[in-house]
Amino acid sequence: MGIPLHEIRDPKTRAAAIEQDRIQNAAYHALGKLAPAKQERHKVQPLDGGGKLRKQSSGGVAVVISLIAFRHREIDDDACIYSLVPLRDAIAASLGLDDADKRIKFQYSQVVTRGNEGVLVAIESLK
């Protein structure tokens, strides 16, 4: 189910979701037709030291990845997760891991918006 912005408890995730909503809905937030600033891409170091993808690991969770889908209407949880599978696979591959690796924990939520649809990705390193 979708989570309203005011119900997101984690301060970092909430701030990121609010900022993403401001970017996607510039007119709604009284920013006019300003183009959002270009986001810088940062190189991500693989968790496994740059080796081949691993199927599983016995270590604990090292990274929590929150995927927050901004949608015009809410969809059921299964459909939300299913729609984010390609993104989940791409994120895990960019970290040099398989998406089933035990060191990655994925969290999913939705926010209903009047603006553009999209996905906010928040990555938190625990180690």
Q: How far apart are CA 31 and CA 49, in angstroms?
A: 42
Percentage helix, strand, coil, to 5, in the chain? 25, 20, 50
3 state SS of 93: helix
| pLDDT tens digit sequence for 76-127 | 989 999 999 999 999 888 888 888 888 899 999 999 999 999 999 998 888 7
HSE on the CB side for 98, CA within 13 Å?
Answer: 9
Q: Is the dihedral of CA 96, 41, 18, 11 positive or negative?
A: positive
Q: How far apart are CA 59 and CA 47, in angstroms?
A: 11
Q: What is the pLDDT of residue 84?
A: 93
Report which residue type is found at 29.
H
| pLDDT tens digit sequence for 12-42 | 887 888 787 777 766 555 544 455 556 555 5
pTM attached to this predicted model: 0.55
Give me the residue spans of the domains in the chain: 5-36+59-125
Pairing of strands 118-125, 104-112: unpaired
Q: What is the pLDDT of residue 55?
A: 47
Q: Say if residues 21 and 64 touch (Cβ distance below 8 Å).
A: no
**Residue 119 CB contacts under 8 Å (≥ 6 apart), including other chains:** 67, 68, 69, 70, 84, 87
